[in-house]
Amino acid sequence: MPDLLLEVLSEEIPARMQRDAARDLERQVLSRLARARLFGGQVEPFVTPRRLAVLVRDLLEAQPDITVERKGPRVDAPEKAIQGFLKSTGLTLEDCERRETPKGPVWFTVSQEKGRPAADLLAELLPEALAAVSWPKSMRWDESGVRWVRPIRSILCLLDNQVVPFRFGSVESGRTTLGHRFLSSGTLTIDEVGNYAAILEDAKVMLDPEQRIQAIVNRIWAIEDEEGLQPAPNDRLVDENAGLVEWPVVLKGRIDARFMDLPPEVLHSAMSTHQRYFGLRRDSGRPAPHFIMVSNVETEDEGAVVVAGGERVLRARLADARFFWDQDRRVPLGERVPKLEGVVFHARLGSMADKARRIAKLASNFFSEIAGADSKKAARAGLLCKADLVTEMVGEFPDLQGIMGRYYARPDEEPAVCAALAQHYAPQGPRDPCPRTRLSTAVALADKFDTLAGFFAIDERPTGSKDPFALRRAALGVIRIVIEKGLRFSLGEALTKALAGYDGLLPHEPEPEVTRGALLAFFADRFKVHLREQGVRHDLVSAVFGVRGEDDLVRLRARVIALERFLSGEDGANLLTAYRRAANILRIEEKNDGMRYDGEPDPDLFKDEKPEEQALYSSIAVANAMIEPALEREVFEEAMEAMASLREPVDAFFDHVTVNSDEPELRHNRLLMLSQIRATLDRVADFSKIEG
């Protein structure tokens, strides 16, 4: 069975796009092979900075023949319909089969469709697959109008060692490719699919990104062992470097001693963020005066010239950082706050100075008490938390915002305030730690709530995959802080106070209650995402958020966990079924009667011959008496057990009592009984939102 090899050679593909593009090319090719009935065995995708490739083993040489059956008109259909059917099939009536169907005798045709050769199909399918590959950004590079991430230089496509001829844009497929841009010269001819990887490796190209990653990691560890240094792990940087080179060469350079007293974060930013170099540390954890760089070339001088160039570029970058560091420290951080008036937070939400004042007020008046922090320190930290945005260092190294605020505040501010400045942006991602101190927790929450309230108030909300102001990240950050720290407060109250900070600034925006409701719904969605990652069903989060007045995230999580455990048992599943039965009857009858059934049923209307009514009524009263204190003590498992006690009386009621009695008064009373079932269970969760 033949193997298929497809390679697209182009100008450099951005490192961040490579893995997704390789997966997408694999998916597009395989989906078309499946539809064409060519199938295939093992699949190996490859990606380097210059090429996307996929190797599919064991394809069929041709499609299998298939039997095609077509249903025609009825035997007694008009002659014109029958002739039209025969014309469309190219057959005569003698070639048709007459079959009996529930609608009478019908003409059928059965024919054999011969499979097409794989090479012919691939010539049609592969250009479609390439055109369907998705890129975050793409370009047209020739007159054909087809798009790719960068200009395509060649396409290699072999099936059973024979070229599959097709054109994509202005490029025709063939059996040639290129090796390493600098370490190889001339075209490479691939005579057999099985030789592809070996030929490229001889031409200094490592096809497998994992192989390049491992080569980089192994060499870094070797250098560290030689020097007695410790690693500064950075998986993101390893992946990025592997996406920048086809033949990784790991080299070590030196940092001038005059820069080693700069803050470690400055050294790290200058090296990793700007130059994609790796830092090294001593046993003490302090930065070592060395860096590691990954080159794409081997040289006769073992990289001496390359290292010298890297040192020169880094020296210039660190010289700038040294100048900014010396200049910025001449002005106390507190004196920089007025300059925030000239920094726009958002055109409709005021300046960064306005935001800092709102954060200070919200942190000191609300979140300081919740987090157990000093309110005066919270106000000071809130006022200063954005001041480093107007420093030269942060202007050049934006990733250091907050961090530099801590350093610049140290001569004049208390240590707790300085720590809060550095940590108030946290967490900035799912793996980023939450703020560590109480004061930084208060300021971080105030900052995130202010951002969410402001952008929702002006209707700048996330849509689909677009979230330009990182509001999803802000909400998930709040959720993580609250859950991990066990903070107890009303989410609605916090949003109300955050929205109050914009009073007078947004005179024409929606009513605060409307914005608050939208924010609560947004938090519910983010909370679902957070719990789903822990294996919790999203509908249970909706059910718990549906409880009126329940907006304490810690308590909500406890409710959700208890509800999940309850519904996983037999009692919970049966009670959910009973709830739905009661709720469905109520929904139908309330719609028919144009009213909502609420309130207590009248025990005097219970029928002696229907003891199930009195039994259910009494059971509901007992359950409510148990549920109320359990909810107050937040012992939700106890509340669930009380609900479980309703299972048998509810089943007995439905088995023996006719709700829609012919007697109007009796019918009304029994519908009120169903409303009691609904109301009792809804005190724990909105069971109408539970699926399955």
Judged against a pLDDT cut of 90, whether residue 286 lies above it is answered with no
Q: Write the pLDDT tens digit of every residue in 475-518.
A: 999 999 999 999 999 999 999 999 999 988 876 666 788 899 99
CATH of domain 337-535: 1.10.3210
- Beta bridge pairs of residue 414: none
**pLDDT value at residue 17:** 95
Burial of 668 (0-12, 13-18, 19+ CB in 10 A): middle
- Give the tokens for residue 229: 């240094």
Judged against a pLDDT cut of 80, whether residue 687 lies above it is answered with yes
Q: Write the pLDDT tens digit of every residue in 147-187.
A: 999 999 999 999 989 999 999 999 999 999 999 999 999 99
Tokens 């496509």 sit on residue: 157
* Number of neighbouring beta carbons within 10 Å of residue 425: 20
Q: Report d(CA 468, CA 472) in Å as an integer.
A: 10
Helix intervals (H) in 605-663: 611-632, 636-644, 647-656
The percent of residues in the chain predicted with pLDDT above 70, rounded, is 99
Average pLDDT over residues 209-224: 90
DSSP 153-198: EEEEEEETTEE---EETTEEEESEEE--TTT--SEEE--SGGGHHH
Q: Is 37 left (phi over 0), alpha (psi -120 to 50) or beta?
A: left
Q: 3-state DSSP call for residue 273?
A: helix
Average pLDDT over residues 258-270: 95
CATH of domain 4-62+117-202: 3.30.70
- Give the tokens for residue 357: 């004042």
Phi/psi for 463 (5° steps) reads -135, 125
Judged against a pLDDT cut of 90, whether residue 415 lies above it is answered with yes
Average pLDDT over residues 588-598: 91
Judged against a pLDDT cut of 90, whether residue 63 lies above it is answered with no
**pLDDT value at residue 173:** 96
Average pLDDT over residues 62-71: 83
Least confident segment among 233-247, 532-546, 573-587, 669-683: 532-546
Confidence of residue 65 (pLDDT cuts 50, 70, 90): confident
User: Structure pTM?
Assistant: 0.81
Q: Report d(CA 130, CA 148) in Å as an integer.
A: 9
CA 510-515-521 angle, to 5 degrees, is 150
- Beta bridge pairs of residue 295: 249
Residue at 589: amino acid letter: E
DSSP 475-499: HHHHHHHHHHHT----HHHHHHHHH
Secondary structure letter of residue 688 according to DSSP: G
Confidence of residue 231 (pLDDT cuts 50, 70, 90): low
Judged against a pLDDT cut of 80, whether residue 391 lies above it is answered with yes
| Contacts of 641-647 spanning 24+ positions with Cβ under 8 A | 643/566, 643/575, 643/680, 643/681, 643/684, 644/566, 644/569, 644/571, 644/572, 644/575, 645/619, 646/575, 646/578, 646/616, 646/619, 646/620, 646/677, 646/680, 646/681, 647/571, 647/574, 647/575, 647/578
**pLDDT value at residue 32:** 92
Q: Report d(CA 509, CA 458) in Å as an integer.
A: 6
Give CA 90 to chain center in angstroms: 53
Answer whether 480's CB lies under 8 Å from 526's CB. no
Beta-strand pair 152-159/162-163? antiparallel
Confidence of residue 101 (pLDDT cuts 50, 70, 90): confident
Indicate if 564-689 has the same CATH topology as 337-535: no
Confidence of residue 102 (pLDDT cuts 50, 70, 90): confident
**pLDDT value at residue 285:** 76
Q: What is the 3-state secondary structure (H, E, C) of 543-580?
A: HHHCCCCCCCHHHHHHHHHHHHHHHCCHHHHHHHHHHH
Least confident segment among 327-331, 534-538, 558-562: 534-538
How many Å from the N-terminal Cα to the C-terminal Cα in the chain?
Answer: 46
Burial of 88 (0-12, 13-18, 19+ CB in 10 A): exposed
Answer whether 442's CB lies under 8 Å from 423's CB. no
Judged against a pLDDT cut of 90, whether residue 228 lies above it is answered with no
- Beta bridge pairs of residue 157: 6
Instruction: Give CA separation, 397 vs 173, 272, 453, in Å.
Output: 45, 12, 28
Q: Is the omega angle on the peptide bond into residue 165 within 30 degrees of 0, that is, cis?
A: no
Domain boundaries, the chain: 4-62+117-202, 66-113, 209-328, 337-535, 564-689
Residue at 450: amino acid letter: D
**pLDDT value at residue 124:** 93
Q: Write the pLDDT tens digit of every residue in 353-390.
A: 999 999 999 999 999 999 999 999 999 999 999 999 99
CATH of domain 564-689: 1.10.730
Average pLDDT over residues 393-411: 96
What is the average pLDDT score of the chain? 92
Average pLDDT over residues 16-31: 94
Q: Report d(CA 564, CA 557) in Å as an integer.
A: 11
**pLDDT value at residue 510:** 67
Least confident segment among 74-83, 121-130, 321-330: 74-83
